[in-house]
Structure 1
Amino acid sequence: EQLLKVNDILPEPIEYLFLQPKDWLFKNNQEQILANKPILDDSYSLIGFDQEKHIVVYKLDK
């Protein structure tokens, strides 16, 4: 995915992802997100969500 390519270029990879249903990354990984599974080749794991604000938080597995 594009984010993994971006992480390769950056001095430090993006550690946290804050995703909302309207986000492209959420839409492309919706099945895994709704099943509370890791996303982006298992690079990011779910650490929490806020149902009221509709935000899902994923953290990079180091």
Structure 2
Amino acid sequence: MAKPNYSFEKRQRELEKKRKQEEKRLRKHDSRDEAPDGANEAGQHRPPAAEPEKSPGA
């Protein structure tokens, strides 16, 4: 019987947590962009930051 690879499972949990945090951050960012007209005065609106490229091996 093969023994469980706990470090692989931990890494998968960490990646899932990071993905969920990124989705939450994007949702919050999107909700700020949809604020009423008075909330986004000229000069306060920032364009979204570029997403970092993810390498398939990392």
TM-score (norm 1): 0.22
TM-score (norm 2): 0.23
Please tell me whether Structure 1 or Structure 2 has the larger radius of gyration of its CA atoms. Answer: 2
> Which protein, 1 or 2, shows the higher relative CO under an 8 Å CA cutoff with sep ≥ 6?
1
Specify which structure has the higher proportion of helix.
Answer: 2
